[in-house]
Structure 1
Amino acid sequence: MVFSLIIAIVGHEIMHGLMAYRYGDDTAKNAGRLSPNPLLHVDPVGTFLVPSLLYFSTGFLFGWAKPVPVYIRTVIRNGGYLAAIQVSLAGIAYNITLALCASAVLHNLTAPSSMVSLFIYSFFSYLVVINVILALFNLYPIPPLDGSHALSYFAAWMGWHKVAHWMDRAGRYGFILLVLLLISPFSIYVFAPMHYFIGLLLP
């Protein structure tokens, strides 16, 4: 689970930086944040505290890495708002791709017959689960999730500047809204799409 989580969340953040670098923003590169070294992406709360508390209280593993620095004005100047949307969704695209690849591997593995094969099977299973959760959860248009940034840039791209401005201002309350949503009875609907797609991808 730990290996799968690190690959999912570190790769997610690196992809944001790589996409921004494609459009001329070298902020992440200069900060050394395009490296696959997980120690450079550790967030004390999101990488250790939250996953540990969740796992030992519910058996559920979820977390996040330290956000990769991106100077989005450079991206917009060089590639427009469409480039900013690509930067926002790059991590999600990575997680979806990784989940699909892990699912393909799982469907070609035989039933585990040893500790080694069980480890391999479990590793790819958790790659599917964690990457699906990260991808779909981040798609929700609630700050500070990636979906909210993509929607804000889309609104600006379409000329809906009042909507984009309102979303930027609402960002300060997004984390509180997110926490309230997750501890409310409506959380079952938040995770329902994830359960559905995990069921499709796992053998």
Structure 2
Amino acid sequence: MWSELDIVKIVSIVLSLMVAIIGHEIMHGYVAYRYGDTTAKAAGRLSINPIVHIDPVGTILVPALLYISGAPFLFGWAKPVPVNIRTVIYNGGYKAAVAVALAGVTYNFILAVVASMIFPMFDRPHSLFEAFVGLFLMYSIVYNVVLGVFNLWPFPPLDGSQALRYIAMQFRWQPVVDLLNRIEPVGMILLIVVIATPLSEWFFMPARWLIDLLLT
């Protein structure tokens, strides 16, 4: 039988994870919109309504399985926001494309820092509500850092690889572009290999360092 604190914990986990991953996707579309691309707005994907962003696998199934299995970190994804990157590049160049690629990561890191500034006010709760706020802030720090670091990995289709691609295109580093094009078809396999093996310890090391820094 679940206690009130168990329910509060689960609700805070769900809400913090949804704010992290849905906000991440919205920011891609919003920054693209600032550079003249109305694709996401026309599709109704700049809305904060979570229903239009939920991916049954990435938003529900994967986080639930990770939670049930006792994984040290939870992460997931929402439905990708549609972006016409050609319009973005036409209006703002490759720098604008990099800004769109890193918009979600930037959002995650800013949210983690803001949550860390407020968290000390609720780390010793005196009520169930304060416990909820404290847990929400703590998990916001953890999940936003994990999502931010994860998405910076240089494996297609993650944001880090997209940013690297546009930087390489701007500076005409064709071998880098060619390499990303070659590994793109197997990008998801590379991600699974990293996540499912001890390599994950190394790749998530920056996330652990940042989480410890923000929670102390």
TM bucket normalised to smaller:
over 0.9
Match of 1:118 among 131, 135, 146: 131
Match of 2:82 in 1: 69
Match of 1:107 in 2: 120
**2:34 matches 1:22:** yes
SS at match of 1:70: coil
Match of 1:133 in 2: 146
CA contact 2:122–2:133 (8 Å) conserved in 1: no
Q: CA deviation at 1:171?
A: 1.1
**Whole-angstrom distance in 1 between the partners of 2:123 and 2:69:** 32
- Worse overlay, 113-122 or 65-74: 113-122
SS at match of 1:120: helix
The CA RMSD over aligned residues, in Å, is 1.1
Q: In the TM superposition, what are the counterparts of 1:1-203 in structure 2 within 5 Å?
A: 1-59=13-71, 60-109=73-122, 111-203=124-216
Q: CA deviation at 1:169?
A: 3.4
Distance 1:110 1:192, change over 3 A: closer
- Worse overlay, 111-120 or 88-97: 111-120
Q: CA deviation at 1:165?
A: 3.2
Residue segments in structure 1 that go unaligned for 5+ positions in a row: none
Residue segments in structure 2 that go unaligned for 5+ positions in a row: 1-12
CA contact 2:156–2:187 (8 Å) conserved in 1: yes
**Whole-angstrom distance in 2 between the partners of 1:157 and 1:90:** 18
**Whole-angstrom distance in 2 between the partners of 1:44 and 1:109:** 32
Compute the TM-score of the two structures, normalised by the length of structure 1: 0.96
**Whole-angstrom distance in 1 between the partners of 2:86 and 2:129:** 48
Q: CA deviation at 1:163?
A: 2.1
- Once the two structures are superposed, residues 122-141 of structure 1 have per-residue CA deviations (whole angstroms, 9 ceiling, x without a partner) of 01000000000011111111
**Whole-angstrom distance in 2 between the partners of 1:185 and 1:25:** 40
Share of identical aligned residues, percent? 55
Amino acid at match of 2:20: A
CA contact 2:155–2:191 (8 Å) conserved in 1: yes
Amino acid at match of 1:49: L
**Whole-angstrom distance in 2 between the partners of 1:185 and 1:134:** 19
**Whole-angstrom distance in 1 between the partners of 2:123 and 2:150:** 31
Compute the TM-score of the two structures, normalised by the length of structure 2: 0.91
